[in-house]
Every structure is written in structure tokens, then in C-alpha cells.
Amino acid sequence: MQGFASEFNQALSLILQGDAELWAIVLLSLRVSLFAVLISAAIGMPVGAALAVARFPGRRMLIILLNALMGLPPVVVGLLVYLMLSRSGPLGVLELLYTPTAMIIAQVVLVTPIVAALTRQVVEMLAEEYAEQLRSLGVSQMASVPVLLWDARLALMTALLAGFGRAIAEVGAVIIVGGNINHVTRVMTTTIALETSKGNLALALALGAILIGIAIAVNAMVSSLTLRAEREGLRHA
Amino acid sequence: MIRGFIGALSVTLGLMAGTASAEEAFIVVQSTTSTQNSGLLDYILPGFEAETGIDVRVVAVGTGQAIRNAVNGDGDVLLVHSKAAEEQFVADGWGVERFDVMYNDFVLVGPQSDPAGVKGGSDIVAALTAVAGSEVPFASRGDDSGTHKAEMRHWNAAGIDPTGASGTWYRETGSGMGATLNVASGMGAYVLTDRATWLSFGNRGDLEVLVEGDPRLFNQYGVILVNPEKHTGVRAAAGQRFIDWLTGPDGQAAIESYMLDGQQLFFPNAK
């Protein structure tokens, strides 16, 4: 590990000088994971909220299952999505394997349970709080879902951030369905895996530092948005 | 939120369209980590891409996995290094025809202190026998890759079944060449590696080449077009063009001219 400092400096200067190749990798990571989170939100939030307010047999089991799915092993998800998208698989004709779209699909599978499970938790608490009001207004269970989601929006940002954190940091699934193809499906985590396998540990670590930096930046951005929304909420109230 | 969903959906569809429009002008090559990690493909592919306009997308995995992916039809060309497995792939009808491309060799690397005392030898079977006899750590790929298959052939020739010692001195990493070299470097283990990955590897620690030059350490690479009759999606025309280039004068010259630290890593030998 000689020259650790120099390799670290080299990686940092690549970033600061706007090395096109490196930035393309960073942008692809962000693009894939942000889309995955958006799609997961569109699926996971309504499902989570519905599960929070609806009462039906087997609901408890479904919640346990959903919570367990938060811990899906990425490699298994990668394999499942690979088997679906492979030319030998049922969706092979779509030719999606080894594309960013395949990576988005894998991340959606990983992130949706997280968003749904956390939404369920947040909305269920809120629903208990509002139960009397909603009942007096004669709002049905399902009709209350959009209202509850809207009122819980700030807390739900945390659910989305948790999902984003999972997506951007994940390597096991995207390396299988993306193939880590240079300029096509190479993202930050697969680059880190590749550089590690080349024995370029310092460069891999420096890329890891960037990844953490991005995660901090995204979290800070969301947090400042949330704060502003909270303040405005107070002003209107 | 609904607007968000529609936005996400339309952008995603746009993303899909973006990848689809480039479809006719690329091929997927299932290859091994050694061709990628050594930098060879990054060096030679731009020449082919500039000449033909065909983008070559390389998925670099172990030979075993590359072959399985190709059997599933998830690639147009197979570029790997395990001749017996490649010939089986063709014999089973998954590939059209196998062509020699280039060769280099395997080397046995290990700690400078060399507790098994094999340094300077050129007999890989004798060296492995010595390693097994002294029960010093040996890191194996253990992943059905071309290098793993080669390693198992040499154990077989030595009449030793190291998997019986799995978990003691024989450590199966189940990982790629680079990851296995990292493990060997960390625990001071012996390891069989292809020379190209070794020369381009950056975390050698106190590992060095101990045994080389045995003719049995010859490492041949072959290229095969995935059979379009098995999988209709195979881009056969573009794939064949790549094979013709790789085994023709331009590709062979490009392979020959690739140097790392003044050393040639691959030796072209297409017929």
C-alpha cells in the first residue's frame, strides 16, 4: 500500500479537475439510483399507506413479510432480475440486460420494500392520531390515504433517503445485471469493486470517499428542504 | 406525487429509448477478468470501434460464468481461456466455431520468505507438491474460472486433492483473480495467477513470482461467436466482424503492441 497519500491525492485531483470519465460514472450512479427511488416511492408509498389504514385478514403477516424484505440480499435480487432479463428468461426479448434500465429495475426491487415498510410505520402512527377527525368527517379508509401521505410528507423524506442510501451503496445486484460495462453500466460501486480487484486500494478508497460525500450532499439537500418546509408550515399555521 | 410518478416513468422510458437506439451498433463480449484488469481490452478496442463504428461492451467475469452467460444467450462473443471448456461449448452447439487468439502463461506467486522452498523452480507440479507437503497457505480461485480449472489440472497431475484441506491451508476464495491476489497478499499465501493480471496488479505486498516457465503453465485464449441459431437475439454479423478483426492482422498487431512497464502481456497466435 505504498504511495497511499499520493494515490488519494491523485483521485481527489481527478474529481476536482472534472475528469470527464469519473464524472460520467458519478452521474450514472446518481441517475440510476434517483430513478430507482422515484419509482420505488410511486409504488411503495401508496402500498405502505394502504397497509397502514386497511384492516384485513393476513395483514399482520404481510407487514412482517414487508419488514423482512427490507433485508433482501442484493446478490439474490441481482440473480432474480438476471434470470428474468436474460435472453433465456421470460423478458429476454426486451434486451434490457446490461443496460442502466436493468440496474434501475434491480434497485427498485431492493428499495421498494424499504419505502413501503417505513411508510406503513409513519402513516399508521399518523392515522391513529387523526382517527377521530377522519371518522367525524366521514372519510373512508382508502380515501384517507392521500391525505395521510401528504401530512406525513416530511417524515416520508426519511424513508426515501433510506431507500436512496441502499440504492447508491449497493454493488451486488448492479454488477450482475449491469455487467460493469465501461461507459455504459459502470457506476461508483462497481468501479470501486473493479479497482479493488486490480489492487488499486487507495484509488478504490478515494472513490469510496466521494461516494460518502455524495450521500452527505444529498442528505443535506433534503434536510434543508425539509427544514424550510417545516418553517413555512409553521408560518402558515 | 402522481406528477412525480409520471415524470419518473417518462424519463425512465426515455432512458430505455436511449439504450435501444444504440442497439444496432454494439456487441456484448463475455470475457474474463484478466483481459480487462490487465488493461488489454481498453487498449485494443478503440481501434476496432473507430474502424467499424461497433461499440464493444465487455462483461468481465470468470471463464466458467462467462460460458454460462453465453449459454443463456447473454452475449454475442465469448473471449475466454479454458480450451477444453470452450471446445465443449462449441460441441454442445452453443458456439459456432472456436479460434485461437493469443496466449501468455500462468505463474506461481508466493511470499518472498518462501516457506515451501519452491523459488526458482520451473516444475509447477513439484512446486504444488511442496506447498501441500509443508501445508503453507495456498489461495485458490475456487470459482470454476479458467485459472481455477488450470490450477485443478496441476493438482490432479500431482495426485493431490487439495479440497480435502479446504479451510485449513487450502483457502478457496470463490472470487476473481484480483480479489484472490488481495487475499494471498494479506495472508502471505501461494497463488496461481495469469501473468497479465499479476503484472498489472497494484497490491502485491511481499508476494513475488516463484515458479514460471513450465510448458504446462501455457495459457491459451480463444474466441467464439455465440450460436445465433440457439438465440435469435445474437448480433452475429457484428460479432463475426469483431472475431475477424481480433484474429486478423490489425487485431493481432494491436495485441502484440500492448505493453505494461515495458513488458508484453499477451502474445498473438491466431492461425
Question: Which of A172, A180, A167 minimizes the C-alpha distance to A215?
Answer: A167
Residue pointed to by grid coordinates 479446504: B166
Query: For the stretch B135-145, what's the b/e string if a residue is b when 16 or more beta carbons lie within 10 angstroms of its beta carbon?
Result: ebbbbbbbbbb
Query: Residue A44 belongs to a domain with what CATH number?
Result: 1.10.3720.10
Residue A2 included in any domain: no
Instruction: Give the whole-angstrom CA distance, residue A85 versus residue A100.
Output: 13
Chain-centroid distance, C-alpha B84: 15
Residue A193 included in any domain: no
Instruction: Give the whole-angstrom CA distance, residue A192 versus residue A208.
Output: 7
Strand B26-31 to strand B77-80: parallel, antiparallel, or no bridges (unpaired)? parallel
How many Cβ pairs within 8 Å bridge chains A and B?
Answer: 104
Cell output for B215: 510448458
Question: Which of B234, B146, B26, B242 minimizes the C-alpha distance to A86?
Answer: B234
Residue A196 included in any domain: no
Phi-psi region of B96 (alpha: psi -120 to 50; beta: other; left: phi over 0): alpha
CA distance B233 to chain A (A): 7
Mean pLDDT of chain A: 90
Give the per-residue pLDDT at A236.
59
Residue pointed to by grid coordinates 467464439: B224
**CATH tag for B105-217 (out of 3.30.930.10, 3.40.190.10, 1.10.3720.10, 3.30.750.24):** 3.40.190.10
Instruction: Give the whole-angstrom CA distance, residue B271 versus residue B254.
Output: 16
Domain total of chain A:
1
Say if pTM beats, i.e. exceeds, 0.90.
no
**What residues are paired with B221 via a beta bridge?**
B102
- For B71-105, write each residue's pLDDT tens digit: 999 999 999 999 999 999 999 999 999 999 999 99
Question: Which of A203, A132, A123, A200 minimizes the C-alpha distance to A156?
Answer: A123
Question: Which of A115, A109, A138 minimizes the C-alpha distance to A52?
Answer: A115
Cell output for B51: 474502424
Contact list in A for residue B37 (CB cut-off 8 A) is 194, 197-198
Name the helix (H) or strand (E) containing B77: strand B77-80
Residue A108 included in any domain: yes
Residue A3 included in any domain: no
- For A180-237, write each residue's pLDDT tens digit: 999 999 999 999 999 899 888 887 888 888 889 988 998 898 888 888 877 876 665 5
Question: Which of B143, B43, B26, B147 minimizes the C-alpha distance to B77?
Answer: B26
Residue A235 included in any domain: no
Cell output for B58: 465487455
Give yes or no for a contact between A158 and A118, defined as CB atoms under 8 angstroms apart: yes
Q: Calculate Rg over the CA atoms of chain A.
A: 21
- For A32-73, write each residue's pLDDT tens digit: 999 999 999 999 999 999 999 999 999 999 999 999 999 999
- Whole-angstrom CA distances from B32 to A95, A187, B184, B223, B251 are 22, 19, 20, 11, 18
Name which of A38, A95, A198 to mutate to probe chain B: the one with the most chain B Cβ atoms within 10 A of its Cβ: A198
Domains of chain B by residue range:
20-103+220-268, 105-217
Give the per-residue pLDDT at A135.
83
Which residue in the set A39, A45, A200 is minimally distant from B12, CB to CB? Answer: A39
Give yes or no for a contact between B100 and B270, defined as CB atoms under 8 angstroms apart: yes
What string of DSSP letters covers B90-157?
HHTTSEEEEEEEEEEEEEEEEETT-TT--TT---HHHHHHHHHHHT--EEE--SS-HHHHHHHHHHHH
Residue pointed to by grid coordinates 474460472: B145
CA distance B252 to chain A (A): 23
Per-residue pLDDT 10s for chain B (271 aa) are 444 544 555 455 445 444 444 445 999 999 999 999 899 999 999 999 999 999 999 999 999 999 999 999 999 999 999 999 999 999 999 999 999 999 999 999 999 999 999 999 999 999 999 999 999 999 999 998 999 999 999 999 999 999 999 999 999 999 989 999 999 999 999 999 999 999 999 899 999 999 999 999 999 999 999 999 999 999 999 999 999 999 999 999 999 999 998 999 999 999 8
Count CB atoms within 10 A of the CB of residue A229. Answer: 13
Cell output for B249: 492482422
CA distance A131 to chain B (A): 23
Instruction: Assess: ipTM above 0.85.
Output: no
B12/A93 touch (CB, cutoff 8 Å), yes or no: no
Give the per-residue pLDDT at B154.
97
Name which of B42, B74, B191, B260 to mutate to probe chain A: the one with the most chain A Cβ atoms within 10 A of its Cβ: B74
- For residue A133, pLDDT over 90 is answered with no
Q: Is A95 on the interface with B (CB under 8 A)?
A: yes
Domain B20-103+220-268 has CATH 3.30.70.1400: no
Give yes or no for a contact between B104 and B265, defined as CB atoms under 8 angstroms apart: yes
Name which of B16, B45, B56, B185 to mutate to probe chain A: the one with the most chain A Cβ atoms within 10 A of its Cβ: B16
CA distance B149 to chain A (A): 20
- For A208-223, write each residue's pLDDT tens digit: 888 899 889 988 988 8
Residue pointed to by grid coordinates 439510483: A33
CA-based nearest residue in chain B for residue A43 = B5
Residue A209 included in any domain: no
A101/B202 touch (CB, cutoff 8 Å), yes or no: no
| pLDDT-above-90 percentage for chain A | 61
Cell output for B161: 486433492
CA-based nearest residue in chain B for residue A175 = B59
Residue A27 included in any domain: yes
Give yes or no for a contact between A156 and A149, defined as CB atoms under 8 angstroms apart: yes
Give the per-residue pLDDT at B18.
45
Contact list in B for residue A100 (CB cut-off 8 A) is 15, 19
Split at pLDDT 50, 70, 90, the class of A23 is confident
Main-chain phi, psi angles of A157, to 5 degrees: -60, -35
Strand B138-140 to strand B170-172: parallel, antiparallel, or no bridges (unpaired)? parallel
Give the per-residue pLDDT at A1.
47
- Name residues whose C-beta falls within 8 Å of residue A12's C-beta, 6 or more positions apart in sequence: A206
